[in-house]
């Protein structure tokens, strides 16, 4: 903190013009979006990097012997400006981007990569951390301090701190190029989403869509200058929500192909489309080369070393053990799909664009349920307040109180105080739920500020989704998938909000990838808990509670089509591991051929059920931080299903259960080894039994 004081006079004149250079005066340090402008970011990034480098040099060059306080704690306190600026900027780059933000992102990404290397490849700084590591048994550290030392020591090693100067130079060049390419990939996906939206000429082609959906398509087309036409946007996954309703098979095929063949350079309206294949090959090559330099067999081996799985073979085994029964389940489901097609007069093999439409028909017939009859009971505000917030209150005693006095970056963003059981403010929660062109696909949680007792910080947490915005004046009615995603993301949210740790490096969701999805997935199942459903599933017009028969059918129908759901996920997870298990000399030249071969070799190449993400638009692994880690959702789901089943058996939705889960899991961040955290909660390691039931693969 000494350096912060010395810097005060340097930055005081700049802070009047740049709000990013000082802590926000708003509650809990919430970003003041009313004052932040695009032109503030580059100067703040530059000032933040300068500040942290000088702080790091001061730590490294101390004459005194290294101690936990003068080295690790000092490092934890460094980089205040950079941390604040990056948290705000990169959330905007994902949730509300524009050309100027993308230009800044492309410029700053390699600079940040170099900055990180300048710290982690500082030999004097590493020497101090390594000295502490060698003395760790005599330092009298508590568990959290020991974990912090381990995290920092391994970060230096994995950055290449022990490599020769020549190899460190190669690592630096690779990191800089990787940062530029991942940014380019992310920006390409945003452009591709706009590029591949499907323009429809005739209203007749939209048979099956509701009036509200058609109205939204008209408004979307008009906004793009195509008055009198209809625009169907493309979401991030291969499957598209609109395919469940469209009766027109030719249009379904157009929509599916617009999704599945994106990023391959295909012509769009007579002009060449965006081609992500060269980017993919270069990213795979660079990651493989970096892993080799660091002494690993592959990028997957490098990535999984500090995960729960530890080795790629463990993740592959879990996925491959499930694959045969999942493929068999999907093939059984396909027979029902083909039967429904024949009943509809379509005597053809089931194609990917048929599956979701006829699966919905089979679901309606099997369970006598129409999704359009259910959606009026899932109005967004009721789901959020009477469903998600209600669950958090029943389990953990927290309440969410909306406030409208804090500035936001988009008019549809909402802000809530999160109050603990004693009425004290625990943190802030931002909710950004609606789809827009300026937002990348998918759903995620992030933090503007992470909890830390050392820094006297309370958490400021953000949830982002891509729910289609209804036409003006129409209610937002959700699918069950959207409902469960809302529960999922606030599961991440409370992992950040309930964090109770000393050091920011170990705070909240700073855990291994194959653990971080556990708390979020665990919270999904409360969406279909009878007590919770009864509280939020009410008709948006009449307030009538969802009829018991419809409720039971909805819960039963939720288990339907799980072969398809699981296979498309498995295919994507295996594809990710196949790409990132390659050595530098094994990188292919043909993306599509490699993808087809990989799926075939793994036994998951079933044409009617393509991967949830194909290579050219697999955001999670090429730009989203999940490289060689997409398997983590299923790994975490094993924990989540097991934990939920055990909590259900002990009374379900009770404060006693919630408090135990909060104390042993949600408050711990990365301060304790992950399996020990799980065993603290459950008393034993998990089994896969509850997962198989959850996925509908076992009664």
Q: Report the phi/psi class of residue 350: left, alpha or beta, with left for phi > 0 and alpha for psi in -120 to 50.
A: beta
Residue 414 forms beta bridges with which residues?
431
Residue closest to 303 by CA, chosen among 629, 588, 651: 629
Q: Check: CB of residue 516 under 8 Å from CB of residue 636.
A: yes
* Alpha helices for 73-164 (secondary structure H): 74-77, 80-95, 99-120, 123-134, 143-159
Q: Check: CB of residue 496 under 8 Å from CB of residue 446.
A: no
| Residue labelled with tokens 């699981």 | 566
The one catalytic residue among 489, 568, 595, 637? 489
Residue 452 forms beta bridges with which residues?
457
Radius of gyration (Cα) for the chain, nearest Å? 25
180 burial via Cβ count (<10 Å: 0-12, 13-18, 19+): middle
Q: Check: CB of residue 560 under 8 Å from CB of residue 369.
A: no
> C-alpha angle with apex 250: 246 to 256, nearest 5 degrees?
70
Residue 679 forms beta bridges with which residues?
none
Residue 415 forms beta bridges with which residues?
403, 430
Q: Which residues contact 135 (CB under 8 A, 6 or more apart)?
A: none
Residue closest to 629 by CA, chosen among 576, 552, 550, 556: 576
How far apart CA 316 and CA 301 sit, in angstroms, is 12
The distance from CA 365 to its chain's CA centroid, rounded to whole angstroms, is: 34
Two tokens, residue 658: 């919630």
Residue 444 forms beta bridges with which residues?
464
Long-range CB contacts (within 8 A, 24+) of 345-351: 346/249, 350/608, 351/253, 351/608
Q: Which residues contact 696 (CB under 8 A, 6 or more apart)?
A: 329, 559, 560, 562, 563
Q: Check: CB of residue 551 under 8 Å from CB of residue 533.
A: yes
Please count the other Cβ atoms lying within 10 Å of the Cβ belonging to residue 306: 14
> C-alpha angle with apex 232: 234 to 93, nearest 5 degrees?
40
219 assigned to active site? no
Q: At what angle do helices 80-95 and 41-60 cross, to 10 degrees?
A: 140
Q: At what angle do helices 2-15 and 41-60 cross, to 10 degrees?
A: 160
Q: Which residues contact 59 (CB under 8 A, 6 or more apart)?
A: 70, 71, 74, 75, 78, 125, 128
Residue closest to 545 by CA, chosen among 366, 346, 308, 378: 378
How far apart CA 103 and CA 109 sit, in angstroms, is 10
Q: Check: CB of residue 324 under 8 Å from CB of residue 603.
A: yes
Q: What residues act catalytically?
A: 489
């Amino acid at each position: 903190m000494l350096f912060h004081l010395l810097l005060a006079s340097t930055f005081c004149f700049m802070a009047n013009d740049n709000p990013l250079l000082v802590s926000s005066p708003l509650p809990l340090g919430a970003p003041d979006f009313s004052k932040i402008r695009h032109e503030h970011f580059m100067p703040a990034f530059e000032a933040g990097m300068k500040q942290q480098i000088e702080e790091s040099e001061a730590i490294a060059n101390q004459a005194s012997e290294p101690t936990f306080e003068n080295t690790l704690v000092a490092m934890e306190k460094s980089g205040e400006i950079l941390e604040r600026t990056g948290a705000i900027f990169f959330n905007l780059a994902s949730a509300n981007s524009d050309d100027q933000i993308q230009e800044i992102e492309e410029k700053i990404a390699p600079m940040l990569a170099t900055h990180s290397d300048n710290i982690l490849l500082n030999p004097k700084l590493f020497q101090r951390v390594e000295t502490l590591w060698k003395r760790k048994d005599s330092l009298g550290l508590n568990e959290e301090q020991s974990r912090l030392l381990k995290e920092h020591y391994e970060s230096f090693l994995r950055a290449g701190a022990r490599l020769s100067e020549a190899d460190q130079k190669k690592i630096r060049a690779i990191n800089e190029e990787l940062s530029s390419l991942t940014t380019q990939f992310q920006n390409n996906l945003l452009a591709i989403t706009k590029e591949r939206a499907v323009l429809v000429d005739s209203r007749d082609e939209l048979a099956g869509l509701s009036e509200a959906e058609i109205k939204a398509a008209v408004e979307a087309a008009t906004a793009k200058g195509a008055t009198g036409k209809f625009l169907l946007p493309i979401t991030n996954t291969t499957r598209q929500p609109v395919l469940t309703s469209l009766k027109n098979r030719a249009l379904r095929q157009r929509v599916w192909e617009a999704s599945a063949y994106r990023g391959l350079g295909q012509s769009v309206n007579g002009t060449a489309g965006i081609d992500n294949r060269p980017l993919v090959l270069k990213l795979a090559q660079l990651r493989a080369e970096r892993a080799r330099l660091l002494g690993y067999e592959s990028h997957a081996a490098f990535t999984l070393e500090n995960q729960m799985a530890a080795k790629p073979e463990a993740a592959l085994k879990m996925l491959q053990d499930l694959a045969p029964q999942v493929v068999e389940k999907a093939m059984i489901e396909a027979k029902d799909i083909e039967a429904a097609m024949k009943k509809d007069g379509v005597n053809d093999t089931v194609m990917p664009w048929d599956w979701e439409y006829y699966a919905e028909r089979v679901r309606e017939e099997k369970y006598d349920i129409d999704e359009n009859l259910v959606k009026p009971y899932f109005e967004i505000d009721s789901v959020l307040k009477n469903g998600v917030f209600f669950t958090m209150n029943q389990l953990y005693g927290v309440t969410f109180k909306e406030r409208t006095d804090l500035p936001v970056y988009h008019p549809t963003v909402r802000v809530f105080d999160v109050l603990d059981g004693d009425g004290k403010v625990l943190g802030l929660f931002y909710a950004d739920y609606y789809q827009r062109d300026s937002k990348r696909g998918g759903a995620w949680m992030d933090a503007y500020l992470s909890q830390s007792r050392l820094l006297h910080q309370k958490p400021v947490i953000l949830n982002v989704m891509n729910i289609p915005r209804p036409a003006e004046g129409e209610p937002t009615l959700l699918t069950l998938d959207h409902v469960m995603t809302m529960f999922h993301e606030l599961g991440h949210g409370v992992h950040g909000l309930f964090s109770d740790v000393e050091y920011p490096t170990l705070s909240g969701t700073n855990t291994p990838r194959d653990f971080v999805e556990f708390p979020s997935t665990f919270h999904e199942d409360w969406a279909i808990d009878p007590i919770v459903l009864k509280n939020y599933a009410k008709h948006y017009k009449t307030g009538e509670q969802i009829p018991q028969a419809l409720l039971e059918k909805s819960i039963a129908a939720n288990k339907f089509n799980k072969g398809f759901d699981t296979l498309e996920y498995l295919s994507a997870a295996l594809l990710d591991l196949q790409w990132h298990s390659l050595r530098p000399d094994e990188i292919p030249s043909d993306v599509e051929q490699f993808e087809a071969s990989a799926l075939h070799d793994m036994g998951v190449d079933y044409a009617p059920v393509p991967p949830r993400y194909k290579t050219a638009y697999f955001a999670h692994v090429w730009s989203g931080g999940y490289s060689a880690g997409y398997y983590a959702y299923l790994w975490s789901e094993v924990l989540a299903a097991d934990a939920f089943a055990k909590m259900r058996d002990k009374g379900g939705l009770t404060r006693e259960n919630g408090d135990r889960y909060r104390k042993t899991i949600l408050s711990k961040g990365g301060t304790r080894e992950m399996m020990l955290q799980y065993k603290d909660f459950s008393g034993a390691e998990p089994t896969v039994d509850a997962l198989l039931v959850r996925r509908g693969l076992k009664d």
